Amino acid sequence: MKPKNCLIFGGSGQIGRNLIRKLTKNNIRVTVVTRNIHQKSYIIKTQGNAGYIDVVEANIYDEKKIRNLFSKADICINLIGILFEKNKGNTFYNIHTLFPSLLAKLAKEFKLKNFIHLSALGINDAKDSDYAKSKLEGEKNILNNFSIATILRPSVVYSVDDNFTTNIMTLLSRLPIFPLYYSGKTKFTPIHCSDLSDIIYYVISNNINSKIIECVGPEVISFKNIIERLLILINKKRILLPMPYFLASISAKLFQLMPNPLLTEDQLRLLKYDNILSKKYKSNFDIGLPSKKYFDKEVKKYSYMWREGGQFSTEKYLSKDNN
């Protein structure tokens, strides 16, 4: 039997919005917790059927308010994560380690049917990354506090609303030379946002508990090949230049001084490690839910915005694949 009330943390991002649409279409009520209801409420409430979405404002450090929300929930989903640290409060340790631990404790206290936590693929090997270490410690705390939790480890997630393909295509459209860190050899298994939402819904509807599931797309693609494919999709030619580590490190130090850095030193360290199946845990393919969306075909649906002419590009309308 499907749970009727789902409590979601981090529901305003690309994964959260896609998931809300999926859940509400299947008659699951969601309560979405956000830090700023004035900025995010309209975005969230337009994602699903009327009457199926409640938006609540709460800070992740407000344990009393969060505790009250658990009293009405059947299941909790944590999608909150950061790629870089901004200030003393917004740290990897606080967001990836302490907060998930609190949610797991409350899930146990209120006897929830499941607690689904979104982690990240490839974190076992990246022992020199603060991001990866905080994610691993968070997983450990979750399982210690709520042993039947389900942890999902996706590879890089992409869609028209992402900060991955869209940022890269923006840079490729403006820069004559694009740097390749580690010669672009790092491997990824990109998964489309809607495929990841299908996996989360599958976990909920089939009462899957006590598992770590690696979530990947149908293709293994090197970083260099991702760039090459995006260049074809936006009809650009650029020089792809392998960057020595010492230069990459200097650029990362400079970038991380920006409010929203393109690259940090920790991300540079993380890029050393492949983002593919470890084969130590089950994957979405193993549980009978293979990813169906292929990178080139999906990105092509929105890549026209970075071609010559942007949204008015005639290629969008002349392409046979868009009919």
pLDDT at 320 over 60: no
- The span from the CA of 200 to the CA of 209, in Å, is 12
Q: What is the DSSP string of 263-282?
A: --HHHHHHTTS-BS--SSSE
Domain ranges for the chain: 5-158+190-216+279-283
The CA distance from 80 to 48, in Å, is: 20
pLDDT of residue 259 exceeding 50: yes
pLDDT at residue 319, rounded to an integer: 55
Whole-angstrom distance, CA of residue 92 vs CA of residue 133: 9
What would the CATH number be for the domain defined by 5-158+190-216+279-283? 3.40.50.720
Cα–Cα dist 153/136, whole Å: 11
Query: pLDDT (tens digit, 9 = 90+) per residue, 186-215?
Result: 999 999 999 999 999 999 999 899 889 999
Per-residue model confidence as pLDDT tens digits over 22-77: 999 999 999 999 988 877 777 787 787 778 999 999 988 899 999 999 999 999 99
Q: How many CB atoms lie within 10 A of CB 137?
A: 17
Q: Residue 264 and residue 258: Cα distance in Å, rounded?
A: 10
DSSP string, 122-165: TTTT-TT-HHHHHHHHHHHHHHHH-TT-EEEEE--EESTT-SSH
Per the structure block, which two tokens stand in for 210?
Answer: 């006590």
Nearest one of 261, 272, 160, 279 to 213, comparing CA atoms: 279
Rounded to two decimals, what is the model's pTM?
A: 0.93
Average of per-residue pLDDT values in the chain:
92
Q: What is the DSSP string of 63-74?
A: HHHHHHHHTT-S
Listed range (1-5, 33-37, 144-148, 216-220) with the worst mean pLDDT: 1-5
Give residue 314's pLDDT: 62
Short-list 287, 289, 280, 251, CA closest to 267: 251
Q: Which residue, chain included where needed, has tokens 């399982």?
A: 143
* Predicted pLDDT at 38: 73
Question: Which CA distances in Å does 236 have to 88, 161, 168, 172?
Answer: 41, 22, 13, 8
